[in-house]
A and B are shown apart, each in its own frame.
Chain A
Amino acid sequence: MSDVRVTTRTLCIDLPFAKLNQRSRFAKVVVMSERSTEQIRELLDSLYRVDSRRILATLIRLLGDFDLAEEAMHEAFAAALSLWPARGVPDNPRPWLISTARFKAIDTLRRRAKFDASQDELVRYLEAQSSSAESSNEEDGLEDSLEDDRLRLIFTCCHPSLPPEARVALTLREVCGLTTEEIAKAFLTTPRTLAQRIVRAKAKIRDTPIPYEVPATQELPERLDAVLQVIYLVFNEGYSAAAGAEVTRAELTSEAIRLGRLLAELQPKQEIEPEVVGLLSLMLLQESRRAARTSPTGELILLENQDRSLWNREQIAEGAALLEKALKSRRFGPYTLQAAIAAVHAEAESVAATDWRQIVALYDRLLRIQPSPVVQLNRAVAIAMRDGPEVGLAQIDAVLEQGELANYYLAHSAQADMYRRLGRTAEARSSYQKALALTQQEPERQFLQERIRQLK
């Protein structure tokens, strides 16, 4: 994990600990065991970094509420910092933290119940749950339930009855642990807007209520689809930003890949869903090109001009291995096919050496299961590479005529490229202008303007 992650996680728990150190009651304790407190702080830091998402997922199940679970978890970590130096670190820190969090939550609810009688029932329910959990040997089942709870959390955050932007925001916040500010910045909205979106989503989960569970087998394909969509959306947002100065936003792509890995990890070994593996493969193969996609001054570099020695061979190797796994299932979904296309590029030494025939064949298959105009466009570009710009242009014209891509800058830019290669300069200029008018991304705009300049 990169250093950036460590800092973020540490910041998350600094605040409650800072509060503790300021209380004069504990001052003596802190002074006497400062060294062990430091070591315990480091241990808790690393526990938080590795386990906080898992612990949160379980607490949400036990307490039935996102906010209560998060608050209780932070209180439990704070309690650990204040109690472990004197008492020693428990043999099983995770169950200790979960159990402590539960008690903290009950305390919080008791306080609230003083003002709001409707909380009484919830307090009694949780207390009953705690005592029954203590009598049964909970720790044995804890490992399994921790993994199931993570799945419950992912599927709940991606529930179809939540609006799509809310699913993305909630997943990044609860499953990935990003702060509201980080998510807002990544999606170019204000923290306030994003916070409201998350509050409304949590309210909907609470009020409907949306059950905290892994979908039943019959619903799984569709629900899994929704999760994969969220993950790929996050990846795409990071891979090619919609507007603004930078072409890529690295934190989002790595977050998406982590999510993809998590989902793959949580799959039952015997029944791995190929699209889960296919998506992870696709993301790794696309990500492998990041260093080569922009010049040091932030300009966009097309695939045909990229320095392939900058491609990340490790990610390509991993992506290719995953792709093979996905293809073994003989069930070819859209992510797997797109990964296959990316793999053909990744394994080619140059544009000229690329097996365009195979890429077109893969697009043919993709079109059959995902007949979208964007796929048609990408296929047309591949056909141009295989058969020449005249044929490619005919295909692109046909797609543009359908109308759906009228405002898609890449469609006009692809058309312009065909005109350019055929020496039809005036038409090329006009198409590049159309493309320019349709994108707000700075590197893309500069690229298009440069192309227009070169036409003269």
Chain B
Amino acid sequence: MKYICLGFLEPGKFDNMSESERNTVLDQCFSYNDELRKNGHLLAEEPLQPPNTAVTVSWANGKVAVTDGPYAETKEQLGGIQVLEARDLNHAIQLISQSPGVKLNCGTIEIRPAADICEIIRESERRRRKHPSPR
């Protein structure tokens, strides 16, 4: 089963580490990721550029609104995403609990089960076949 893991960290915490501390964290995290990948648990991952590079798109006052900065105004910000393959929730929790990022107190990881929307997509396809939307 697929689980999306969102890693939140306090901006600056990483940069404020000494070089050797930082290298330790990186080495341990990358090594753990390699293991997860090898065992078929890590399907995909993307580290993110810092929160100040984010831009938010929404709808306001009848038109598209583009705002600078991330959506969530929280101290800890999204730093990376991983797509995990695990037997079940307990297994996913187990895998993430062992990750060096957690053990070295770098931040918090949110685990969200991926939603299966195949049926919803199929129904939409059926609708669109009957009434193709004008383009």
CB within 8 Å of B: which residues of A? 160-161, 208-211, 213, 215-216, 218-219
Residues B89 and A213 in contact, CB atoms below 8 Å apart = no
In the complex, chain A residues whose CB is within 8 Å of the CB of B97: 219
Within residues 69 to 102 of chain B, which ones have a CB less than 8 A from any CB in chain A? 87-90, 93-94, 97
Q: Looking at chain A's contact residues, is the secondary structure mostly helix, strand, loop, or mixed?
A: loop
How far is B87's CA from A161's CA once the two chains are assembled, in angstroms?
17
In the complex, chain A residues whose CB is within 8 Å of the CB of B93: 160, 219
B113 at the interface (CB under 8 A from A): yes
How far is B88's CA from A209's CA once the two chains are assembled, in angstroms?
8
Q: How far is the CB of B104 from chain A (nearest CB, A)?
A: 18
How far is B90's CA from A211's CA once the two chains are assembled, in angstroms?
7
Residues B89 and A208 in contact, CB atoms below 8 Å apart = yes
Subset of 14 A-B contacts with CB under 8 Å? A160-B93, A210-B89, A210-B90, A211-B87, A211-B88, A211-B89, A211-B90, A215-B90, A216-B90, A216-B94, A218-B94, A219-B93, A219-B94, A219-B97
5 more CB-based (< 8 A) A-B contacts, given A211-B87, A219-B93, A219-B94 = A160-B93, A161-B89, A209-B88, A216-B90, A218-B94
CB within 8 Å of A: which residues of B? 87-90, 93-94, 97, 113
Q: How far is the CB of A204 from chain B (nearest CB, A)?
A: 10
Q: How far is the CB of B95 from chain A (nearest CB, A)?
A: 11
Q: How far is the CB of A360 from chain B (nearest CB, A)?
A: 33
In the complex, chain B residues whose CB is within 8 Å of the CB of A213: 90
A213, closest chain B residue (CB): B90
How far is B93's CA from A161's CA once the two chains are assembled, in angstroms?
10
In the complex, chain B residues whose CB is within 8 Å of the CB of A210: 89-90
How far is B112's CA from A339's CA once the two chains are assembled, in angstroms?
39
In the complex, chain B residues whose CB is within 8 Å of the CB of A211: 87-90
One of A160, A208, A215 near B113 (C-beta < 8 A): A208
The 10 A-B residue pairs whose C-beta atoms are closest, nearest first, are A211-B88, A211-B90, A208-B89, A210-B89, A208-B113, A219-B94, A211-B89, A216-B94, A213-B90, A215-B90
In the complex, chain A residues whose CB is within 8 Å of the CB of B94: 216, 218-219
How far is B113's CA from A216's CA once the two chains are assembled, in angstroms?
20
B1, closest chain A residue (CB): A209
How far is B44's CA from A444's CA once the two chains are assembled, in angstroms?
58
How far is B97's CA from A210's CA once the two chains are assembled, in angstroms?
17
A205, closest chain B residue (CB): B89
Q: How far is the CB of B20 from chain A (nearest CB, A)?
A: 29
Q: How far is the CB of A226 from chain B (nearest CB, A)?
A: 12
How far is B86's CA from A427's CA once the two chains are assembled, in angstroms?
61
**B87, B90, B113 interface centre (most CB from chain A within 10 Å):** B90
How far is B100's CA from A242's CA once the two chains are assembled, in angstroms?
41
In the complex, chain B residues whose CB is within 8 Å of the CB of A161: 89
One of B87, B88, B90, B113 near A219 (C-beta < 8 A): B90
How far is B92's CA from A211's CA once the two chains are assembled, in angstroms?
11
Q: How far is the CB of B124 from chain A (nearest CB, A)?
A: 18
In the complex, chain B residues whose CB is within 8 Å of the CB of A215: 90
How far is B88's CA from A359's CA once the two chains are assembled, in angstroms?
46
Q: How far is the CB of A163 from chain B (nearest CB, A)?
A: 15
How far is B135's CA from A426's CA once the two chains are assembled, in angstroms?
83
B111, closest chain A residue (CB): A161
In the complex, chain B residues whose CB is within 8 Å of the CB of A160: 93
Q: How far is the CB of B37 from chain A (nearest CB, A)?
A: 21
A156, closest chain B residue (CB): B90
In the complex, chain B residues whose CB is within 8 Å of the CB of A208: 89, 113
How far is B3's CA from A210's CA once the two chains are assembled, in angstroms?
13
Q: How far is the CB of A337 from chain B (nearest CB, A)?
A: 27
Q: How far is the CB of B52 from chain A (nearest CB, A)?
A: 32
How far is B93's CA from A210's CA once the two chains are assembled, in angstroms?
11
How far is B64's CA from A123's CA once the two chains are assembled, in angstroms?
48
Residues A209 and B90 in contact, CB atoms below 8 Å apart = no
In the complex, chain A residues whose CB is within 8 Å of the CB of B90: 210-211, 213, 215-216, 219
How far is B93's CA from A219's CA once the two chains are assembled, in angstroms?
9
